[in-house]
Structures are given as structure tokens and as C-alpha cells.
Structure 1
Amino acid sequence: MARFTAALKRVAPWAAQNADGAIALLLAVVIGVLGIMPDKIVPTDVQTQLVNAATLVIMALVATALLRDRVRQAPVEETITSGALAQLPVRLSRLEEIEALVHGTRKALDALQLVRVLGSKQEIAQMHAEARKDTTRWSFKGGTGTYLRAVTLPECVAAARREKRHLVVRVEVIDPSNVEVCETYAHYRRSLSDSPDATGETWTTDRVRKESYATILAAFWYRQRYGLLDIEVGLSASMTTFRWDLSATRLIMTVEDPNRAMTALAGTFYYENCDTELRLSFEQARRVPMDMYKKAPLSDEPTIEEVQDLFGRIGVPLPKAYDGRDVVDIARKALRAVDPYGETRPGALRRHVT
């Protein structure tokens, strides 16, 4: 009896909250029991009447339960609709902002990871080799373009010729006719070291001018020999302490220390901004009329007269004080430049200039 009472106490609260369901369940059990009782106890017509009546009552109770549940759910639905659902667009907007922030942060971190500092001549030379590999474009901005003439230009043109592909080169160097900026650059280089550099020469104003003249001459020489080369040369009225070399795949920025440089891959924040910087700087430089290459042909071994005629035609005349030996020196620097990183590079373009 105690157990029954305890069970009844446990069931009573549930039955009170779900009276309609409990009554329907009880009726279903009672009618089910009556339906299986013998006809002698409960006649068949009485069973049928009881089943029909109980079915109607059960259906009424079920309908009542459904209506009650709808009434209970209405406030909840209203709360959800007016509350959480109303705020859903705002929350989704915040979620998109968070995702954009995470994406931007990840991109910035990736960009920082792809900016590397190079710490040796060998590593810098290796990065230049990787930048030259299969590139279709090259942009340079710096002092006089010694490494450009010694390595970059001949090797890029040679690779393009082998593969018969188009090559676009843009070069910006110090204006050799601007004596003031040439003096400034020479003074800067001497202030770093009075000793000869890897080329075996010391920096003077005259050397700066000849190196820049040599870069111009080299541009015309290569343009005349490879029809798929589009090369532009700009002359700057100001000097820079950096040298930028930018290919289709990476950027390399060097300084006067031959063992220090920085590189970044294409697509990174640093690469894209340096590309923009080089474009804008080149637009402000004085352009060399490269279309004159047809009117001033250069021999495989440029003569003194050919070199003088070329510079006269393009509006960058050589100083009157220059004699034949100075012109030969410029031609030698143009086609037989010494690699400033000290590597010996044999090649077909290392010719004696007459």
C-alpha cells in the first residue's frame, strides 16, 4: 500500500498537468479491455456503443490537447520572432565582419611571413636567379644598374630568346647628364667605403656618369638584337639608397651592403606596393627615346662613332671632355660589366670593344 501511495504521488503531478492525455489513455485502456471480454460478460452491441463513444471522447481530448499546446507555443513563437529572429540580421552582419577581420588578419600575417631578409651574397644571387626564372617582366630602380647590365639583362634576354617569348623591361637610373645628382651619389658611395668595390673601382662622379651611360647603351644594344624585347629607360634627377628588382614572381630590394637584402613574393602586400612605387617613380623620370634604336644601329662590337652618334640622337650627349678612351670605357661597361657580387659569369656577350 505504501508503494502504491508513493507511486500515485509521483504520477499525480504529471496527470494533473496532462489531464486530457491521461484521460484519453485511461479510456483507451478501458475500452481495449472491454473489447476483449467475452460476449457473455459484455454483449457485442454494448461493446460497439462503448467503443464508438470512447473514440469520440478520445478524439475530443486529443483536439483539446492540440489547442492547448498551440496556446502555450504562441508566446514562445512570438518571443522568438520578435526577439532572436529580429536580431538575426544584425548578428549575421557581425559574423561577416568577424570573418572579414579574421581573413584580413590571416592575409596580413601571410604577407609578413613572405618578406624575408637575405644575409649573404650567395643567398642574394640565388634569389635573383629564382626571380629571373621564366619571368616575362622586370622592373629596376637604383643607382646606375651595374648588376642589371652584368647579369639580369643578358640572362633574361637569353632565356626569352631560347623560349621565343615576349620580355618587358623597365629601367630607372640616375640621369648621367645631371652632374649634381651624380656627385651626390658618388659622395654617398665613398662615404660608406673608400676602398674599391667588387668591380675593382672606386666611386667618383665620372664613374657614376659612365655607369649610367653604359646602362642606356646596353638597353639599345639588346633592343636591336631581340625583337620581342620591350625595354624602357627613365633617367632620375634624384638618387636612392635602395635598389629594387621586381620580376613577375618576386621583389628583391638591396642596399649598399652586398650581404643584406630583402625579398617578397608576388601577391603580397609589400610586393604590390613596391610595384606601384616603381610605376609612379618611372612616370616622373625623364624618358629615353628608345624608339630611336632603328636610327642609330650598333655593331656587335660598337665603335666609338656609333656610341657617340647614338647618345647625340637620343638627346643625352656625352660630355665634350670625353675622348675615345672614355667612350670605349662606357661600351666596355655596357657589354662586359663586372658582377658587383663577385661571381665570374662566362658568356657570349663578354666581348672586347673596339
Structure 2
Amino acid sequence: MARFVGALKRIAPWAVQNADVAIALLLAVVVGVLGIMPDEIFGDNGATVQTQLVSAATLVILALVATALLRDRARQAPMEAITSDVLGRLPTRLDRLEQIESLVDRTRKALDALQLVRVLGSSQEIAQAHAEAREDTTRWSFKGGTGTYLRAVTLPACVAAARRDKRHLTVRIEVIDPADVEVCETYAHYRRSLSDLPDGTGERWTTDRVRKESYATILAAFWHRQRYGLLDIGVGLSSTMTTFRWDLSSSRLIMTVEDPNRAMTALAGTFYYENCDTELRLSFEQARRVPLDKYRSVQLGDEPTIEEVQDLFERIGVPLPKTYNGRDVVDIARKALRAVDPYGEPLRETAVP
């Protein structure tokens, strides 16, 4: 009995919701039972009575079935209308979705542009930024002290990549004028005031070192120019020092300071990048220009000799101090072509083409 009641409770909600179908089903069962019952049960005219009952019940069942079909169609009609309306508006909504995606993309680019400068907080980040800046660049502008990192890493790597791809490379370098003893002393004093210990190259900063580093940058520019015909390189000598170092490529600007774990970078196309580009151009134009067009006047060997180095500096109007002996000249050549990365990377030797 309990099972019957439980089954009835489960069936009752469905029967209420589908009353016409439930009645039709019940009548179908009754007609089926009447059809198989003996005629004698219905009296003398049992066959006639049985036939009439079955016919009447059948008509009722058909009516209920028809009612159910009409009800289902009435329910489907609004759904079909809704579906048709939704499908009709689908292309418009897809167009709006594409517009939203485009708006989001433009907004992201605008936010990237508004982020003028990003601070780099480790030597690894700075090294990575330099590597990304060198990648496929066709130009490089540098302004700083003496260009030690430029000689050790940037210039050899950029020239090697340009030679590999057989493409043009424009380089502009601005360093301290080695003939201006006063600015060299100022720069050496500034570097010693930050730390009197040897830097990543293993040397302490002195006035003599500042001069030799700048001479080495000039020599390196001539040496690379003689060996790669598609290199357009210029060197400017400044009578003022700066506490910043600017490195600007086709893709980004990197501004470093004496702290090896702090730097700033800005992508090409941003307000800060464009203004720094203008600043470096104007500063280079005001610097004393080294006549690099005379690079053919003295042919430098793969390992420049003392005579070649001395002759080069005489011909370009930047003579070495008379106090310099052969050892000083060799030191300048070593700094030019075998510069040590001041940020701790292994010693780099310039590959002979």
C-alpha cells in the first residue's frame, strides 16, 4: 500500500500538469479492457453496447489528443517567434561584439602608451631590456660617460646582427671629451664618490681611466667602421658630464644610472621615447664631432699596433697625451676591442671578420 501511495504521489504532479494526456491514457486503457471483455457482461445486447462504449471512448480519446496537439502548438508558436527574433538579431549582436573587442584592444594600447616609463628593478631585467632593444634594430643612440658597456656588449652585438642580416645600421655615440681634463676629473670624482672600490671591470675610477675609456670608444668606432661597410657611425665628444646613460634603439629607450639594479625604459612611440630621441639628437649636434669620415686614412689591423693607434688619433685631431707611452696605447686598444662588461658578464673579445 505504501508503495502504491508513493507511486501515486510521484505520478500526481505529472497528471495534473498534463491532464488531457492523462485522461486520454486512462480512456485508452478502459477501451482496451472493454474490447477484450465478453459480450454477455453487457446483457442481451452486449455486443451493441460494447461497440457503442468503445466508439464513444475512442472519440473522446481523439478529442483529447487533438486538444493536446493544439496546446503544444500554441506553446511552440511563441518559442518559434522568439527563436526567429533572436536569430534575426544575431548578426547585429556579432557586429557589436567585434566592435567591443576592437574597443578593448584600442583601450589596451592607449593604456600602454600612457604608461610612459617602466622601472626595471634588477640587473637581469636591465640585461633583458638591452637584449630586446638590440633585437633587429637598425639604429642606436648612446649618451653617457665613456661608453664602457657600449664597447663591451652593445656595439659588437649590433654590428654582428646587422652583418648577419646584411642590413644598414646607424649608430650615434656621445661620450666625455678625453681632451677636456676638467670634465674627466669631474666624472672620475663623481664615480669615486659613489664607490671607491673597483667596479665590474676590476678597475677604480681615476681621471686617467676616464680619458682612456673615451679614447677607447673612439678607436672602437673606427675599427668597426672599417670592417662593416653598412655601418653609419658617428661620435660626439661632450664637455659636460651626465649622471644618466641613454641607450635608444628602434624599439625602446633604456635610461640607466650607476646603480646596476635600477633603470627606466620606454617603448617606441610613447611621449617619453620621442622626447628623449629629440634630446639625444640635439645634444649630439652640439658635441664636438669626431671626423669618422677619415676612417680610411689609417688602416687598423685586427690587432691594432701602437703606431696605428697613435697615427689615427693624430690624423683625426684628437691626439693622445704626450705623456702616454706604449703601454698606455696598448691599454686603450685593449679597452676598445676587448672591453670587460662592467655589469659582470664574461670578458668579450670582438670577433675578427
Question: What are the residue-to-residue correspondences of 1:293-312 with 2, within 5 Å?
Answer: 293-312=295-314
Q: Check conservation: 1:137, 1:167, Cα contact below 8 A.
A: yes
Query: Which residue does 2:343 correspond to in 1?
Result: 341
**Out of 134, 147, 158, which is 1:145 matched to?**
147
Query: Which residue does 1:170 correspond to in 2?
Result: 172
Q: Check conservation: 1:214, 1:334, Cα contact below 8 A.
A: yes
Q: Deviations over 1:115-135 (max 9, x none)?
A: 210111111011000000000
Q: Which runs of 5+ in 2 are unaligned?
A: 1-106
Q: Check conservation: 1:168, 1:230, Cα contact below 8 A.
A: yes
CA-CA distance at 1:106 after TM superposition: 9.2
In structure 2, distance between residues paired with 1:325 and 1:213:
14
**Out of 155, 158, 163, which is 2:160 matched to?**
158
Query: Which residue does 1:247 correspond to in 2?
Result: 249
Judge which range, 105-114 or 224-233, deviates more.
Answer: 105-114
Could you say what secondary structure the match of 1:203 adopts? coil
Query: Which residue does 1:256 correspond to in 2?
Result: 258
CA 1:129–1:345 in 2, change beyond 3 Å: closer, same or farther? Answer: farther
Letter in 1 for 2:237: L
Could you say what secondary structure the match of 2:295 adopts? helix
CA-CA distance at 1:334 after TM superposition: 0.1
In structure 1, distance between residues paired with 2:218 and 2:246:
18
Q: Deviations over 1:274-294 (max 9, x none)?
A: 000000000100000001100
Q: Check conservation: 1:251, 1:266, Cα contact below 8 A.
A: yes
CA-CA distance at 1:348 after TM superposition: 4.7
Query: Which residue does 1:209 correspond to in 2?
Result: 211
Query: Which residue does 1:276 correspond to in 2?
Result: 278
Could you say what secondary structure the match of 1:264 adopts? strand
Could you say what secondary structure the match of 1:150 adopts? helix
Q: Deviations over 1:219-272 (max 9, x none)?
A: 000000000000000000000000000000000000011110000000000000
CA 1:270–1:144 in 2, change beyond 3 Å: closer, same or farther? Answer: same
Could you tell me the TM-score, scaled by structure 2's length?
0.68
In structure 1, distance between residues paired with 2:262 and 2:159:
27
**Out of 179, 182, 188, which is 1:180 matched to?**
182
Letter in 2 for 1:245: D
Q: Deviations over 1:281-313 (max 9, x none)?
A: 001000000011001110000000000000000
**Out of 305, 329, 332, which is 1:330 matched to?**
332
Q: Check conservation: 2:226, 2:295, Cα contact below 8 A.
A: yes
Query: Which residue does 1:226 correspond to in 2?
Result: 228
In structure 2, distance between residues paired with 1:138 and 1:194:
31
Letter in 1 for 2:345: E
What's the C-alpha RMSD, in Å, of the aligned pairs? 1.7
Could you say what secondary structure the match of 2:246 adopts? strand
Letter in 2 for 1:186: A
Could you say what secondary structure the match of 1:199 adopts? coil
Could you say what secondary structure the match of 1:252 adopts? strand
Q: Deviations over 1:301-344 (max 9, x none)?
A: 00000000000000000000000000000000000000011011
In structure 2, distance between residues paired with 1:235 and 1:147:
17
Q: Check conservation: 2:339, 2:348, Cα contact below 8 A.
A: no
Query: Which residue does 2:119 correspond to in 1?
Result: 117
In structure 1, distance between residues paired with 2:114 and 2:340:
34
Letter in 2 for 1:190: R
Could you tell me the TM-score, scaled by structure 1's length?
0.68
CA-CA distance at 1:113 after TM superposition: 1.9
Q: Check conservation: 1:335, 1:349, Cα contact below 8 A.
A: no
Query: Which residue does 1:49 correspond to in 2?
Result: none
* Matched pairs, number: 247
CA 1:274–1:108 in 2, change beyond 3 Å: closer, same or farther? Answer: farther
**Out of 193, 197, 200, which is 2:199 matched to?**
197
In structure 2, distance between residues paired with 1:265 and 1:140:
16
Q: Check conservation: 2:116, 2:272, Cα contact below 8 A.
A: no
In structure 1, distance between residues paired with 2:154 and 2:244:
17
Could you say what secondary structure the match of 2:128 adopts? helix
In structure 2, distance between residues paired with 1:128 and 1:270:
18
Could you say what secondary structure the match of 1:232 adopts? strand
In structure 2, distance between residues paired with 1:138 and 1:148:
10
In structure 2, distance between residues paired with 1:331 and 1:348:
12
CA-CA distance at 1:111 after TM superposition: 3.0
In structure 2, distance between residues paired with 1:143 and 1:248:
22
Query: Which residue does 2:43 correspond to in 1?
Result: none
Letter in 1 for 2:235: V
Q: Which runs of 5+ in 1 are unaligned?
A: 1-104
Q: Check conservation: 2:156, 2:350, Cα contact below 8 A.
A: no
